[in-house]
C-alpha cells in the first residue's frame, strides 16, 4: 500500500509529545517509518514563583501542532486525515495537575521544573525508604498538604500532563506505568502502585486537610500494549478544530518522556540505557537488580512495560548553550548578516572538538533553574575562569557542552562506580546529540562507555510515542515490547556507535574535579544574585 492510501484509509499511527519547548506530532506506518510531522513551539512561564503552562497553552499548542501535521500531509500527499489506526500522547513527566469533582483545575499546572517541594520529598523519602524526588507528583501533593493550601480538601483527581490530555480526549483517567512511576512508586511484582507505600501515605495525611484516600485520586496504571480507551466525539473536536477527524480511534496508554525516550532508542531491555538531552537531561539504565540502598540522586522508575529502571534526572541541559548561540546570532546581525541557525549550531558545536580535553581550565554551570542532584533549589548561570586559563572559542563551546552533561555525570557515577551497574552501551537522543560526533563523543567520555546514536533518534519522543501506539494495535500474540521493537521497528539497526577516547575521559574527569570544587562558587552566585 502506498503512503497516501495508507493515510487515507486511516491506517497510519499518530504520536504526539509535549516537550519542554516544543509539542511535536509524528505520523508513522506500521514499520515505524515517518510519513509526516508537525510542531508547535512553546515555553513555560514563571508565574508567582511557579513554573507553569496554562490550559490555553496546552490546548492551543496541541491544536496548532495537529494543524501543522495536517499541512505537512497535504503538502506531501495532497490528502486529508480523517482517522488513524491508533494514537498515543506523551509529555514531560511528573508535575501536578489537580482537579475537583467537576473536573475543574484547582491550581495552575506545576511542572517538573519546580523545586518547591523539598520538605515533602524529604519526609516521603524517609517514610518510604525510597527516593522521592522533588518533581514527582506525590511530592507536589504532599507539599500542598503540608502547606495547608486551600484547594487540598477539594482534590478528586490528580495526574500528569500526558494523563490530563488523554483523559480529556477519551474520558479515561489512566496512565502508562512508566509515567505513573514518576507520580508514585510502582511495585514491580504487581505493575501497580506500591500498596504498602500508599498505606503509609494515608497514615501520614490522616487528620490533615486531605480527607480522601490516595488510591482514589490516582490514575489507573496500564502497561504498554493495553487498551486505554478511544477518542470521543468531544475529544476529536478538541484535537482537530477542522472537524474532519472521526471518533472511535483507539488510544494507547499515555506515557512520559522517559518512557518514549527508551522506546525511541530501543533500550527497554536489561543492560541497555539511554540518555535524553534537550532542555533537561536524563539518563535511564534498565537494571538487573535492585540498588543496595536509597540514593537521592537516583530515581527508580519503570520502562513502559514495567521493568525497573535507574534514572538520573537533571533540570538543566541545553538552555544555557542556546543562550550563548543566540548571542552569536546577535553578533551576526550586528554585522549585517542573517545567520542560518542550523549552520550556526553545527559550527559552534563542531568547533568544541578542537578544544582542550579539559576545556583549557574554563568552568561553567548551566543552572537556569534549580538542580536538586547537586543540591540547588535555585540556579544562576555562571561562567568563571582565571587569567591563566585558555580562553578560546573552542574551549568555551567544549566547556558549555561538558557543563550540560556534568550534573548527569554526578548521578551516573553513583550507578557505575558505586553500584557497579553494567551496560553494554548507552543510546543518545535529543538536541545535544544532533551535531554528528560532538555530544556523542563527550557523553562517551563522561560515562566511560560506548554511546550510540540512531538516525531515527532525531525524531525523539513523539516518534517513540507513535511506536507505543503502533505496538498496541500491531503486536503479535504474546509479543513483548522489546521483541516488537527489535524485530519489527529496528530490525538490526544499532546506530552509529562511538567508543570513549582515553584523552577525553581524562579531560572530562579533570573538568569534573574543578566542577565539584566550584559548586561553592555557584552557591555564592545564587545567594548573592
**Count: domains in the chain:** 1
Domain of residue 517, residue span: 319-407+512-528
Q: What is the biggest distance separating any 2 CA atoms in the chain, rounded to whole angstroms?
A: 67
Q: CA-CA distance, 43 to 111, in Å (whole number)?
A: 12
Nearest 5 degrees, angle CA 148-CA 152-CA 157? 155
Q: What is the mean pLDDT of residues 230-244?
A: 97
Residue 85 lies in a domain: no
Residue 356 lies in a domain: yes
Residue 387 lies in a domain: yes
DSSP 8-state code for residue 429: E
Question: Is residue 99 pLDDT above 90, yes or no?
Answer: yes
Task: Report the predicted TM-score, pTM, of the whole model to 2 decimal places.
Answer: 0.83
Residue 359 lies in a domain: yes
**pLDDT tens per residue across span 42-78:** 999 999 999 999 999 999 999 999 999 999 999 999 9
Q: CA-CA distance, 225 to 472, in Å (whole number)?
A: 4
Residue 284 lies in a domain: no
**pLDDT tens per residue across span 428-467:** 888 899 899 999 999 999 999 899 988 765 567 899 999 9
Residue 367 lies in a domain: yes
Distances (CA, A) of 294 to 172, 335, 415, 510: 34, 54, 12, 28
pLDDT of residue 278: 86
Strands 86-91 and 13-18: parallel
Residue 39 lies in a domain: no
Instruction: Tell me the three-class secondary structure of 271-321, residue by residue.
Output: CEEEEEECCCEEEEEECCCCCCCCCCCCEEEECCCCCEEEEEEECCCCHHH
**pLDDT tens per residue across span 262-315:** 998 888 988 889 898 888 898 999 998 889 999 989 999 999 999 999 999 899
Instruction: Tell me the three-class secondary structure of 137-174, residue by residue.
Output: HHHHHHHHHHCCCCCHHHCCEEECHHHHHHHHHHCCCE
Task: Retrieve residue 80's grid coordinates.
Answer: 486529508
Residue 495 lies in a domain: no
Question: Is residue 395 pLDDT above 70, yes or no?
Answer: yes
Percentage of the chain exceeding pLDDT 90: 88
Question: Is residue 493 pLDDT above 80, yes or no?
Answer: no
Amino acid at each position: 500500500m502506498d503512503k497516501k492510501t495508507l493515510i487515507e484509509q486511516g491506517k497510519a499511527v499518530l504520536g504526539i509529545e509535549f516537550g519542554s519547548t516544543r509539542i511535536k506530532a509524528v505520523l508513522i506506518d506500521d514499520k515505524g517509518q515517518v510519513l509526516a510531522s508537525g510542531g508547535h513551539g512553546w515555553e513555560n512561564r514563571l508565574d508567582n514563583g511557579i513554573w507553569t503552562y496554562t490550559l490555553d497553552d496546552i490546548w492551543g499548542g496541541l491544536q496548532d501542532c495537529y494543524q501543522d501535521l495536517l499541512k505537512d500531509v497535504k503538502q506531501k500527499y495532497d490528502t486529508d486525515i480523517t482517522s488513524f489506526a491508533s494514537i498515543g500522547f506523551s509529555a514531560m513527566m511528573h508535575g501536578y495537575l489537580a482537579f475537583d469533582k467537576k473536573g475543574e483545575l484547582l491550581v495552575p499546572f506545576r511542572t517538573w521544573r519546580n523545586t518547591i517541594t523539598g520538605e515533602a520529598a524529604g519526609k516521603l523519602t524517609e517514610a518510604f525508604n525510597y527516593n522521592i524526588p522533588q518533581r514527582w507528583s506525590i511530592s507536589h501533593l504532599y507539599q500542598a498538604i503540608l502547606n495547608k493550601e486551600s484547594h487540598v480538601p477539594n482534590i478528586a483527581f490528580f495526574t500528569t500532563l500526558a494523563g490530563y490530555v488523554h483523559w480529556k480526549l477519551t474520558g479515561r483517567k489512566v496512565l502508562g506505568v512508566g509515567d505513573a512511576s514518576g507520580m508514585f512508586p510502582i511495585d514491580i511484582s504487581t505493575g501497580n502502585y506500591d500498596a504498602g507505600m500508599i498505606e503509609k501515605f494515608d497514615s501520614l495525611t490522616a487528620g490533615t486537610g486531605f480527607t480522601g484516600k490516595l488510591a482514589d485520586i490516582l490514575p489507573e496504571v496500564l502497561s504498554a500494549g493495553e487498551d486505554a480507551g478511544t477518542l470521543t466525539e468531544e475529544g476529536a473536536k478538541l484535537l482537530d478544530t477542522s472537524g474532519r477527524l472521526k471518533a472511535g480511534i483507539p488510544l494507547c496508554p499515555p506515557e512520559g518522556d522517559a518512557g518514549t525516550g527508551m522506546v525511541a532508542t530501543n533500550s527497554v531491555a536489561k543492560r541497555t540505557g539511554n540518555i535524553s538531552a534537550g532542555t533537561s537531561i536524563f539518563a535511564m539504565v534498565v537494571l538487573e537488580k535492585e540498588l543496595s540502598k536509597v540514593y537521592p540522586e537516583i530515581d527508580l522508575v519503570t520502562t513502559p512495560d514495567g521493568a525497573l529502571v535507574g534514572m538520573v534526572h537533571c533540570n538543566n541541559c541545553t538552555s544555557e548553550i542556546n543562550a550563548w548561540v543566540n548571542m552569536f546570532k546577535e553578533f551576526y546581525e550586528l554585522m549585517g548578516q542573517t545567520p542560518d541557525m542550523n549552520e550556526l549550531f553545527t559550527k559552534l558545536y563542531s568547533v568544541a572538538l578542537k578544544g582542550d580535553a579539559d576545556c583549557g581550565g574554563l568552568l561553567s554551570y548551566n543552572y537556569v533553574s534549580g538542580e536538586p542532584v547537586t543540591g540547588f533549589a535555585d540556579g544562576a548561570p555562571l561562567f568563571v575562569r582565571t587569567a591563566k586559563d585558555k580562553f578560546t572559542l573552542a574551549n568555551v563551546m567544549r566547556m558549555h557542552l561538558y557543563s550540560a552533561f556534568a550534573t548527569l555525570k554526578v548521578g551516573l557515577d553513583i550507578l557505575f562506580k558505586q553500584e557497579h551497574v553494567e551496560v553494554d552501551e548507552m543510546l543518545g537522543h535529543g538536541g545535544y546529540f544532533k551535531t554528528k560526533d560532538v555530544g556523542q563523543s563527550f557523553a562517551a567520555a563522561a560515562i566511560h562507555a560506548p554511546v550510540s546514536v540512531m538516525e531515527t533518534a532525531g525524531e525523539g519522543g513523539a516518534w517513540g510515542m507513535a511506536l507505543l501506539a503502533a505496538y498496541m494495535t500491531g503486536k503479535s500474540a504474546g509479543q513483548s515490547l522489546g521483541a516488537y521493537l527489535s524485530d519489527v521497528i529496528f530490525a538490526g539497526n544499532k546506530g552509529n556507535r562511538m567508543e570513549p577516547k582515553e584523552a577525553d575521559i581524562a579531560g572530562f574527569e579533570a573538568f569534573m574535579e574543578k566542577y565539584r570544587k566550584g559548586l561553592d562558587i555557584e552557591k555564592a552566585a545564587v545567594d548573592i544574585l
